[in-house]
Structures are given as C-alpha cells and as structure tokens.
Amino acid sequence: MPGRKRVVDYTASKQTTALRARRNADEVHFPDLDAVRICVIGLRGVPGVPGGIETHVEQLVPGLAERGADVHVYARQNYVAGEVPYVWRGVTVHPTWAPSNTRLEAIVHTLLALFKARRLKPDIVHIHAVGPSLVAPLARLMGMKVVFTHHGYDYDREKWNTLEKKVLRLGEWAGMRFAHGRIVVAKHIADAMQAKFNRNVHFIPNGVQIDIEAADDTVLDEFGLTKGRYVLLVARLVVEKRQMDLIEAFLHADMPDTKLVLVGGGDARSDYAEKLRARAKSHSNIVLTGSQSGARLGGLFANAGLFVLPSSHEGMPIALLEALAYGLPILASNIEANLALELDAESYFPLGDVPALSQAMQKKLSDSKMPAHASVDVGEMGSKIMARYNWTTICEQTASLYLSVLKRN
C-alpha cells in the first residue's frame, strides 16, 4: 500500500547479518558515536536498580559509551546512592529528585530530567516507556532529537485506574507520533504499533547477558537449597508478576521435597509486597532472597529445577529469556508476550488458573531430566538465546538508529 510504514526487524536484517559477518572476520566496524551526546530519561536508575527497563538501560548504555558516545542517564534520586552526578562504566548518572508518590514519580521525574538534560544540549534524548513519553512533544518543541523505546503495554498493568490507563495510552500516542526514532522491544508490539500509528518502528529486542561458568553455587547453601529441587521466579514484587498465584499453586502441589524461591525486591511502600512477604514467611519451603544479581543470581538460575513466570503483564520477558539460556524447564502464563516466544504448548498455562499451574508444576518437575544429582546441558539452548538476544548486536542496532536520526533535517 503506498505510504504504508513498516516494521524494521533488526533480528533478521541484512545490516545485522553484515555486522555479524564483520565480527566473525575479526574486523571492528561498529557504528561510530564519537562525541554524540545522548541523554537517557524515563527510568528509575542504574546500576543495580530492579526492573526490566532498568536492566535494559544498564546493559545498553555502557556499550554506547564504549563506541565514543557521551552518555547521561537521569536517575530517580530515591533509587540510587547519593545526590551528585557520578560516573559508572563511562556513563554519567545524574540523581534527580522525584516525588515519593509512586503514581506521580515517573512523569514528574521525567519532566525534571528533560529540563536538566536541555542544559547539556544533547544530540539525542532517548525516552524509555510509554508513561515518560508524554514529554516527547515538549522535547520536540525544545528542538531536541527524540528516540522513544516502547517496552510494553504499561496501561495493562493491574495497579492503574481508568484515568491513569488513559494517560498512559496518551503517552504511547505521543511517543509514536512525535519521536524521530521508535524502538519496540517485542515483535508483536512492533507489529501492533506500526498498524495502529502507521509509523516506521524498529524492532530491537531486549537482550540476555549471562555467564554460565561464573555462576556462584554457594548461594544455594545460604538459602538452604538443593540443586534441582526448587522452583524459581525472578521478578519484582509487584502485583502483575502474580507471585501470589505461584505461592498458592505451589502450596497445593504435591512436591514435599521441593522449595519455591522468589527472587526480587519490592517497593517498601507497597501493600502487595508486604502481604507477599507475610504469606511467604508462614511457610518454611518458600524462600524470599531479595534482589540478586551477577554470579549469585546466576547460581540460582543454573541450579533450579523449574522456572515459572505467572505474570499478567510483560513487554519482552528478560527473566524468561535468561531461564531459557540456562536450559531450564519453563512454565509461563499464556499472555501475548510469553506466547510470542513460541515455546511448546506444555510450557504454558492459563493466566490466573491456580489449579492448572499447580498440576503443570508437578508434571514438569516429574518429567524433568534434572534430578538433584544431574546437571543441565545449557550449551545448545544458551548459544541460541545468546545469539538471538545479544547485547552487542542490540547496541549496534541502537547506535545505527541514532545516527540515522541525526542525519535527518
């Protein structure tokens, strides 16, 4: 159709193939971002701040800095240490005040960050998520080049009321309408955005960064765990991750020698997180580890018997990709984002169906080829996941989009 915009799928593009070929030939031809100033807004902060968007930015921006970019990330002051700017892996992080009200903190902080970023006269302002993208029209009025990354349908999260969901949809419209470059992290969302807004969008997925050999197995002793004898969920303690569903399913399953391990932190002000902690503490076979990262998180992944993701909302589920990279058996809710990974039918269960999840866990663990004395062969699966969702490639694709935006009048 004439004038029809398109989705650029970087996972299968000729550009990506060429970049991989050059790397295989031991040549270095990364996009050159020398002296390009990039201001990143819309997230809680880096490094070590829980959340999918935060993980995405934490993996992305050091690679941009390595390619010569002058990268500035605006963090919410209550999520990072200190009140003055600091440098982390070549990236300048600017702690910026945000209100304590969790419903206002994102948009208020993003506005403040935009005005602070303006003083630096950035070449690119990169806005992450549909809520913060409400400021995209203002950024354009300020004369800035805007790139917007759509991380998922945030307005589908259970915590928002009707008005808040409408505001978030408005943010999605503003980002798609006013950004110079549009990135979407999931293919099904990219297709939907292209059809809805008739704008060119670039599908650049979330990535996976694991080091199987560096996994720290001593973390099992700390939490009283046995290799292959625990069910794992890695997610923030928020209502849409549905940890409560998993707890109820686990308690109704006949798995006496198995523990449930919930990895992740929650907002100290969250009623849901408090209720979840209280429910978990009443059962000795449920383990809350808090936030984990690096080799310790790797140890928990590498030794689990089953990974479960019961969530009602995901963009591109990074933790699920990581579990696949570690070769774990999987159970995931049948929401669109999880179905998009095209796992076998037995790896899905109906969202919110606790009895079905309970039965599926029992079956998966009984069918699993990973008893307590066995080890997982992660080589083939890990290689496939790491090849498709590789942060080096993702960084190259993002850098190329920046340069194409800067070339436009």
Nearest to 261 by CA among 223, 217, 310: 223
Alpha-carbon span 246 to 243, nearest angstrom = 5
List 87's β-bridge partners, or say none: 92
User: What is the per-residue pLDDT for 348?
Assistant: 97
201-220 pLDDT, tens digit each: 999 999 998 877 888 999 99
Residue 128: band (very low, low, confident or very high) from pLDDT cuts 50, 70, 90: very high
The CATH code for residues 212-386 is 3.40.50.2000
> Any idea which architecture 7-207+390-407 has in CATH?
3-Layer(aba) Sandwich (3.40)
Tell me what the mean pLDDT of segment 390-398 comes to: 94
pTM: 0.83
Lowest mean pLDDT among 78-87, 221-230, 374-383, 398-407: 374-383
**Ramachandran angles phi, psi of 309, nearest 5°:** -125, 95
pLDDT at 330 over 90: yes
User: What is the per-residue pLDDT for 383?
Assistant: 76
Tell me what the mean pLDDT of segment 349-357 comes to: 98
Alpha-carbon span 124 to 114, nearest angstrom = 11
Residue 21: band (very low, low, confident or very high) from pLDDT cuts 50, 70, 90: very low
Tokens 């700017």 locate to 85
Give the residue ranges of DSSP H helices in 131-258: 136-141, 162-178, 187-197, 218-222, 243-252
User: What is the per-residue pLDDT for 14?
Assistant: 42
List 70's β-bridge partners, or say none: 37
pLDDT at 379 over 70: no
Comparing 7-207+390-407 with 212-386, is the CATH topology the same?
yes
Percent of the chain topping pLDDT 70: 89
User: What is the per-residue pLDDT for 51?
Assistant: 87
User: What is the per-residue pLDDT for 184?
Assistant: 97
Tell me what the mean pLDDT of segment 362-387 comes to: 66
pLDDT at 274 over 50: yes
List 74's β-bridge partners, or say none: 94
- Alpha carbon separation from 202 to 150, 173, 182, 222 (Å, rounded): 10, 16, 6, 43
Locate the domains of the chain by residue range.
7-207+390-407, 212-386
